[in-house]
Structure 1
């Protein structure tokens, strides 16, 4: 399948970005952040966004200057072919590892919450199979589907906020900065890569009808995703205290346990599970597609559709390696976030400096 160019509009770009980044409100990311920041963890998305968003803006500026390129082509144009290839491979490794560790995270949620008696490998196989067949449809279909389902997914998340409102205890956010302000700032920098999917999405920069549409959709979605993460993490803090949140692995699903419609309609968390599954499938359909696209771009494989199957298999095999979800989350994912954050904060500015020294930005 050739790279699809010129199909996506602002709404599709917005939907893809929101699903890829915003769904972190429903996984184990808040529990990971609460390990050190405690009840102040709800501010970490804001601190992380402040750290990493200027770097994203720099890349958008460079892509605008170097017209007709995506992120891999941009790096090669600025740094040269061989350095660019090395950086591209590093970008692919980051994307692939993020995809793999996140997918194991979601498989653990599905198993522990809904199919506790089913083998992990069977659940993983079914999940990745659906993701593979969805990714084969191409970026145009993925974008259209994301836009259609976005309303239902966002509506379900918004309904959770409304129904859990009475269980919020505002006093639980104190002290505001949790353990301490220095810890909060440190965690904000270390966890800045919770927005790393924004950088991976730049491989699709030329897939929009106009590049201005991509920039507009991505920027709007980034702000909305930040708002959603902050609001939901605030709700988790005020419904559970910090002693609970750092022990609750999947706070979104736990918070749905509080929801009921009167005395007769209780235990309705299954309804929200349906929309959560839609979001999860779409997230990984998008993710495996752009990861394969990055690899194909590095090695000039224009027809990268055949890569989807082996990458799907590798994601499942490597994703099954951690012995349990605790090791996957608190060791591997924590380490990956810590490594990626300084890279994506600093490297875009390094690219900008090189481009400026070369005189390319004067054009």
Structure 2
């Protein structure tokens, strides 16, 4: 379908969704999963995707009943004014903590690997400032930049993974089941958080050219990110073996392992700008969505003015953990345990309520008229 003026098309939306989920492979997620299930870590995105598949399908099925309606309108229509308020508030709180601790982790990566002499508080402030600038430009601009950059980002990541394979050890993937089926099951349930952003993105359906484009884009992003995350973790296990457990950010460690001959040894300087662009796009989009949710909950019309204020709160919240270890093991780990299962449960709840209220029958009768 032709993109309407001022609306996101399927290409732009899919690019945003791919980057929001796919960049998780470049942070501490691979190491966290390896610590949980060891050599079976690469299975977690696949199994988690299988667990999230039904809730996502039912969520999109429910949203298809209300063409052009976003998360806010549907939650309040199905759950009512008061229950809907608390549900949206819960979504906002979870999304806000995710933004704070994930953005802090991105700043920790920049500080640890690239700008060690610059104070973290300064780097984090600059990082948030760039995200504010992107969010204030609007989701349409973010989508346009995403579509331009996504191909360069995918190419650079694939190149990095291919180069990493050359120094790998195939024995590292054994035993196949890692620490056991029980650990795999537990990690797969919490691993649904990997795809939680696909639920949050329903807040921008009203910015889409059509609900049909949103549905198609979501499935494309879901499939691509499942393959991407699983392949990335597999390659990190292949490359680092048991040392992966002690690496906070394996992607940034991996790109220091190889070079293009004697003339270009600092290859990470080529990957840094591309990774930064992907990261800024991810958090600019998430900041925009968090602001939109907050503005709707409290009925604030001029949402653009909220962006700097919310970003400042997120910056202060993100500075609470004293060390990168605290961010990954304490704060972010708690968000990971809650977000995915909560959003999956909400997806099921919305579908059940829509079914009980006869929304599906109403939609069928409407089509038949």
Q: Which category of TM-score, normalised to the shorter sequence, fits these structures?
A: over 0.9
In structure 1, the residue matched to 2:247 is 248
Q: Which stretch shifts more, 250-259 or 49-58? A: 49-58
Partner of 2:186: 186
Question: Counterpart in 2 of 1:230?
Answer: 230
Alignment of 1:1-363 (within 5 A): 7-241=7-241, 243-363=242-362
Q: Which runs of 4+ in 1 moved over 6 A?
A: none
SS in 2 for 1:140: helix
Describe the superposition over 1:208-266 as per-residue Cα deviations: whole angstroms up to 9, x where unpaired: 1111111111110111111111111100010011x211100010011111221123321
C-alpha distance in 2 between matches for 1:177 and 1:138: 44
Q: Tell me, yes or no, if the aligned pair for 2:99 and 2:314 is still in contact at 8 Å.
A: yes
Deviation at 1:6, TM superposition (A): 5.7
- Structure 1 residue 341: Cα displacement: 2.8
Q: Distance in 2 between matches of 1:63 and 1:11?
A: 20
Q: Distance in 2 between matches of 1:10 and 1:31?
A: 33
SS for the counterpart of 1:167 is coil
Give the unaligned 5+ runs of structure 1.
none
Distance in 1 separating the partners of 2:198 and 2:219: 10
Per-residue CA shift, 1:24-65, capped at 9, x if unaligned? 111111111111211111111111111123212211111111
**Partner Cα distance (1:29, 1:201) in 2:** 21
TM-score by length of 1: 0.96
Moved more, 306-315 or 291-300: 291-300
Native 8 Å contact 1:6 1:210 kept in 2? no
The CA deviation at 1:5 is: 8.5
Contact 1:322/1:328, CA 8 A, preserved across alignment: yes
Maintained 8 Å contact 2:6/2:140: no
* Deviation by residue 1:289-338 (Cα, 9 ceiling, x = unmatched): 11111111222334311110101101111100011111111111111111
Aligned-pair CA distance for 1:345:
2.2
Q: Distance in 2 between matches of 1:279 and 1:44?
A: 23
Structure 2 residue matching 1:178: 3-state secondary structure: coil
Q: TM (normalized to structure 2)?
A: 0.94
Q: Matched residue of 1:342: which SS? A: helix
Verify the 8 A CA contact 2:67 2:210 in the aligned structure 1: no
My pick for the range that moved more, 105-114 or 67-76, is: 67-76
Distance in 2 between residues matched to 1:201 and 1:89, nearest whole Å: 16
Contact kept, 8 Å, 1:52 with 1:193, in 2: the verdict is no
Distance 2:151 2:359 in 1: 42
Rounded Cα–Cα distance in structure 1 between residues aligned with 2:338 and 2:298: 25
Asked if 2 retains the 8 angstrom alpha-carbon contact of 1:26 and 1:253, the reply is yes
Q: 1:104, 1:319 within 8 Å by CA — same for their partners in 2?
A: yes
157-166 or 293-302: bigger deviation: 293-302
Q: Is the 8 A contact 1:5 1:206 kept in 2?
A: no
Secondary structure (helix, strand or coil) at the match of 1:301 reads coil
- 1:258 alignment partner, SS class: coil
